[in-house]
């Protein structure tokens, strides 16, 4: 008779895992299709802005490491991700010097000041975006049309504006889909939103490509699917409920999901492993907070978009979420745990 042997051993029981470098490198690969489509839609302007923001992030990380007499960490790709994500949140005709400053601030204020990779409380790219929005409100809300015929033969003059000089814009597009809804009551067709046929930031491109990038990371177990699922589901349910109440006043939930930076934020920013909770229930709560806050800001706030602030606010309370719902140690009571 064949005997089966049960092998019992102490932890850890994980035999193979991914290093930080491997995870970050795969995130970059998942972002590259989004970058390529952005360049296809906006031409050299988008490429220069994204590249400059990335350069600012990488150089700042290297310089700060050297000043601290530490080994440089630019090889772990985290600074590259910060720069790419920042570039994707900026208008395609954003001045390059502002993009470089944003990349530097994202690393210095959003990451290094907290202790570097693994210690940052907030998503560094969104910290940089928030600072840029406060410092350069006009430049960051001036949009460039997509799919211009000369997008691969010319560069907008605003992109090449000299530091501390007022940028001059050659072509200014109309309102973004969210601005059109917020101030004019007009909703863009879902098909145009899903395939990035609209004006907006460089990352408000093809939502389908963003989703595919997220699926790739989830399939490789490099992203927790609960966060984007919670963000999109909560945003869909709240906007859907409002739409059912008054379809003339509130846009459809499909419009809310595919417009603005919600898809990019849900897939690539809210899922930052450092600034998000670690418990399964905490991930659902965290994602739901982001989705609900985004819709609340879009509908009742003074700004047409709310993804950035929603994620930053959720980052701030992320440690408290885990603390409030952490599992009780087996065999103890709440009173014993407190002691």
**Domain assignment of residue 303, yes or no:** yes
Question: Three-class SS of residue 330?
Answer: coil
**Domain assignment of residue 97, yes or no:** yes
Task: Specify whether the CB–CB gap between 58 and 25 falls below 8 A.
Answer: no
187 with 169, same domain?
no
151 with 91, same domain?
yes
Torsions phi, psi for 154 (to 5 deg): -135, 155
Structure tokens at 184: 């004019």
How many domains does the chain fold into? Answer: 2
**Domain assignment of residue 1, yes or no:** no
167 with 277, same domain?
no
Summarised one tens digit per residue, pLDDT across range 290-312 is: 999 999 999 998 888 889 999 99
Measure the CA–CA gap between 280 and 330, rounded to whole angstroms: 18
Instruction: Answer yes or no: pTM beyond 0.85.
Output: yes
Rg of the Cα trace of the chain?
21
**Domain assignment of residue 13, yes or no:** no
The whole-chain average pLDDT of the chain stands at 87
238 with 215, same domain?
yes
User: Which residues have C-beta within 8 Å of that of residue 121, sequence separation ≥ 6?
Assistant: 114, 275, 315, 316, 318, 319
Summarised one tens digit per residue, pLDDT across range 211-245 is: 999 999 999 999 999 999 999 999 999 999 999 99
Cα dist from 281 to 228, 231, 276, whole Å: 14, 13, 12
CB-neighbour burial class of residue 279 (10 A; exposed 0-12, middle 13-18, buried 19+): middle
Angle of CA points 278, 284, 287, to nearest 5°: 95
**Domain assignment of residue 332, yes or no:** no
**Domain assignment of residue 336, yes or no:** no
Sign of the C-alpha dihedral, residues 272, 274, 279, 281?
A: negative
Structure confidence at residue 144 (pLDDT):
82
163 with 190, same domain?
no
Structure confidence at residue 11 (pLDDT):
46
**Domain assignment of residue 338, yes or no:** no
217 with 81, same domain?
no
Range of the domain at 190: 183-198+207-324
160 with 220, same domain?
no
Summarised one tens digit per residue, pLDDT across range 121-143 is: 999 999 999 999 999 998 998 88
Task: Specify whether the CB–CB gap between 49 and 95 falls below 8 A.
Answer: no
Measure the CA–CA gap between 338 and 321, rounded to whole angstroms: 18
Structure confidence at residue 42 as a pLDDT band (50, 70, 90): very high
34 with 87, same domain?
yes
pLDDT at 329 over 70: no
- Output DSSP code: residue 35: H
Measure the CA–CA gap between 123 and 56, rounded to whole angstroms: 16
168 with 218, same domain?
no
Mean pLDDT value of segment 162-190: 78
**Domain assignment of residue 337, yes or no:** no
Residue labelled with tokens 């599992």:
327
226 with 310, same domain?
yes
27 with 155, same domain?
yes
User: Which residues have C-beta within 8 Å of that of residue 151, sequence separation ≥ 6?
Assistant: 42, 43, 44, 45
């Amino acid at each position: 008779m064949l005997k089966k042997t049960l092998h019992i051993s102490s932890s850890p029981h994980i035999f193979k895992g991914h290093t930080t470098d491997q995870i970050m490198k795969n995130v970059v690969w998942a972002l590259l299709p989004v970058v390529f489509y952005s360049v296809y839609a906006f031409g050299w302007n988008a490429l220069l802005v994204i590249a400059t923001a990335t350069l600012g992030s990488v150089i700042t990380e290297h310089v700060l490491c050297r000043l601290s007499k530490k080994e440089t960490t630019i090889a772990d790709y985290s600074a590259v991700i910060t720069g790419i994500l920042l570039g994707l949140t900026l208008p395609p005709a954003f001045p390059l010097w502002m993009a470089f400053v944003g990349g530097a601030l994202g690393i210095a204020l959003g990451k290094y000041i907290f202790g570097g990779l693994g210690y940052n409380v907030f998503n560094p790219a969104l910290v940089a975006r928030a600072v840029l929005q406060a410092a350069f409100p006009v430049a960051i809300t001036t949009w460039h049309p997509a799919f211009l015929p000369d997008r691969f033969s010319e560069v907008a003059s605003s992109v090449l504006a000299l530091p501390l000089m007022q940028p001059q814009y050659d072509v200014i597009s109309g309102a973004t889909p969210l601005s059109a809804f917020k101030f004019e009551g007009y909703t863009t067709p879902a098909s145009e939103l899903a395939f990035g046929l609209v004006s907006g930031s460089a990352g408000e491109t093809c939502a389908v490509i963003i989703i595919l990038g997220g699926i790739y990371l989830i399939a490789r177990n490099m992203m927790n699917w609960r966060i984007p699922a919670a963000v999109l589901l909560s945003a869909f349910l709240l906007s859907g409920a409002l739409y059912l109440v008054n379809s003339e006043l509130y846009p459809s939930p499909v419009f809310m999901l595919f417009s603005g930076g919600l898809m990019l934020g849900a897939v690539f920013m809210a899922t930052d492993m450092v600034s998000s909770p670690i418990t399964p229930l905490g991930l659902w709560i965290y994602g739901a907070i982001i989705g609900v806050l985004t819709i609340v800001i879009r509908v009742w706030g003074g700004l047409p978009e709310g993804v950035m602030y929603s994620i930053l606010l959720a980052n701030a309370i992320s440690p408290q979420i885990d603390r409030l719902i952490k599992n009780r140690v087996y065999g103890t009571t709440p009173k014993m745990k407190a002691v």
